[in-house]
Structures are given as C-alpha cells and as structure tokens.
C-alpha cells in the first residue's frame, strides 16, 4: 500500500499518517520529521534544511529527492508506506513516479486533507510536537495526558520554530503556490481522494479508512 498525504501545513497530514501507519502496518515517512531530527542532531543536512525551514520556504528539490530515495531503500518500505510532506512540488512528484515505475509499481492513493486557511492558523498556534518520535498534539483539541510530555515516548513537547504566525502565513503562501498544483497532478493520474479535514480526528480517519478499504 503506497499512499501520499496532501494538504496544507497544519491540515493534519501527520496526525492521520501516523494512524494509517499503525492500522495498516506500513512505515510513516515524514520528510519534515526527518529534517527536524537532523536539525536536532546538528547534521550537515540539518544545517542546510534549517535555513529554509525557519523561513517557511521549501528545502531544494535535489536535497529532498535524494533523502527520500535513500529512505525507500530501507527494508521496511517493501510493504509500502504513507508519505507525509512528500511530494511538495511537481518535480518531486515526477521523481516519485519515476522511482515507482522503475520498480514496476504505482501509487495507490493521494489523499488530500482539505482545511481552509483560517482553521490552519489556529491549529498551528496550539500545536505541540515531539521531536523524538514525531507525535503531534494540540493544547486544546488533542492534549497529551501529562502537560508537555509525549504520551508515546515520554519526551518533552515543544512548539516548532516554524509555527510562529508570520512563518505560518508564508508556509501557506508557499503551499498554495508550489504544492496545491499536485491535486490536479494526482487527479489526472486518477488517484486523488479528498477528505474534509475540519472534522474531528477520528472522523477524518474513518473517511480515510473507507477510501483505503
Ligand atoms: P512538515 O513537517 O511537512 O510541515 P507541514 O507540511 O507544514 O505540515 P505540518 O507538519 O505543519 O502539519 P500537518 O499537516 O502534519 O498537521 P498535524 O497533523 O501536525 O514540513 C516542515 C518544513 O520542512 C517545510 O516548511 C519545508 O521547509 C520542509 N520540508 C518538508 N518536506 C519537504 C519537501 N518534500 N520538500 C521541500 N521542503 C520540505 O496537525 C496540526 C495541528 O492540528 C496539531 O496540533 C494537531 O493536533 C491538530 N489537528 C490535527 N487534526 C485535527 C482535527 N481533525 N481537528 C482538530 N485539530 C487537529
Ligand atoms: Mg506534519
Ligand atoms: Zn514522542
């Protein structure tokens, strides 16, 4: 099962991708999480990515594509995967198609989690993230059991550097400009499905399950 999650920053791609991964036993691959882990460990990749991420800009395609191609070589990807935050540009989508084609495979579903910009701003300001395992929470909509502590791994929860309001606005602009055209790209390929991302998390998840089943 190979799934791409589409949607604006803060639409709930990560939240839903984690659930899909658990339910269907495929790895959840978030390019954003991989970059944040590299920033935390101060690797050369992290140092490069940080320059773009802090401004809400996209990391250059060549960096992202080589990272994701390496990830596909890991043995857990044999069962498929749910991609969260990749692809984000048409060239990235084409690179994915090419990699799939070379293996005689194809993408099964591109699921667009649809949420209007106004709702996004509120979600981002309340979000708290675990930089260890990638889990996300919301101080009102989805709080952790203990304040500032990750339910899944016990790590401290933090506000992401790029969740400041000005940066969020730029991320939304970048999304509409560079990523939203992927909806048409995947509609043309016949694999686009849209879910209403403003519903409760469990409801959104049910809609996704009914598509995937
Ligand atoms: P990335 O980490 O992918 O961030 P993003 O796309 O901006 O999306 P987010 O992770 O912010 O949101 P999400 O959709 O996962 O929502 P979440 O589930 O957390 O990328 C960060 C940066 O890395 C980019 O800006 C770029 O610089 C770089 N990058 C990454 N990939 C790249 C690529 N391929 N190419 C180039 N650059 C790349 O939910 C948000 C909040 O809402 C949470 O608090 C959650 O609890 C809450 N919530 C979720 N669902 C609901 C619901 N149904 N109801 C109420 N609240 C909800
Ligand atoms: Mg995310
Ligand atoms: Zn955690």
**Mutation to probe ligand 1, out of 8, 9, 140, 177 (largest number of atoms < 8 A from CB):** 9
Instruction: Kindly state the average pLDDT of the residues 13-28.
Output: 96
> What is residue 164's predicted lDDT score, i.e. its pLDDT?
85
Q: What is the pLDDT of residues 157-180, one digit of tens each?
A: 999 889 988 899 999 999 999 999
Q: Say how far apart CA 16 and CA 135 lie, in whole Å.
A: 11
Q: What is the pLDDT of residues 127-152, one digit of tens each?
A: 999 999 999 999 998 999 999 999 99
Token look-up 């890991």 returns 74
CATH 3.90.180.10 fits 2-27+74-212, yes or no: no
Say what percent of the chain tops pLDDT 70.
100
Q: What is the pLDDT of residues 179-191, one digit of tens each?
A: 999 999 999 999 9
pLDDT at residue 117 tops 90: yes
Query: Residues with catalytic annotation?
Result: 13, 88, 127, 160, 171
Q: Say how far apart CA 85 and CA 11 lie, in whole Å.
A: 11
pLDDT at residue 122 tops 90: no
> What is residue 166's predicted lDDT score, i.e. its pLDDT?
86
Residue with the smallest CA separation from ligand 1 atom 7 is 9
Residue with the bigger pLDDT between 84 and 166: it is: 84
Range 97-122 burial, b when 16+ CB lie within 10 A, else e: beeeeeeeeebebbbbbbbeeeebee
Which atom of ligand 1 lies closest to the CA of 5? 14
């Amino acid at each position: 099962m190979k799934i791409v999650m589409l949607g604006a920053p803060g639409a709930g791609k990560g939240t839903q991708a984690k659930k899909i991964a658990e339910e269907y036993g495929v790895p959840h691959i978030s390019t954003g999480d991989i970059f944040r882990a590299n920033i935390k460990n101060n690797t050369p990749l992290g140092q490069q990515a940080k320059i773009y991420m802090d401004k809400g800009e996209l990391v250059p395609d060549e960096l992202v594509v080589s990272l994701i191609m390496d990830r596909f070589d890991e043995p857990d990807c044999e069962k498929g995967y749910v991609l969260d935050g990749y692809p984000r540009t048409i060239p990235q989508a084409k690179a994915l198609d090419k990699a799939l084609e070379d293996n005689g495979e194809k993408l099964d579903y591109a699921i667009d989690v649809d949420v209007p910009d106004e709702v996004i701003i509120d979600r981002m300001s309340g979000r708290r993230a675990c930089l260890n395992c990638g889990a996300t929470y919301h101080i009102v909509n989805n709080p952790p059991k203990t304040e500032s502590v990750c339910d899944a791994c016990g790590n401290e929860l933090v506000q992401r550097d790029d969740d400041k309001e000005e940066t969020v606005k730029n991320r939304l602009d970048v999304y509409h400009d560079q990523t939203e055209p992927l909806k048409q790209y995947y509609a043309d390929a016949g694999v686009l499905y849209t879910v209403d991302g403003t519903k409760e998390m469990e409801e959104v998840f049910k809609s996704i399950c009914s598509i995937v089943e």
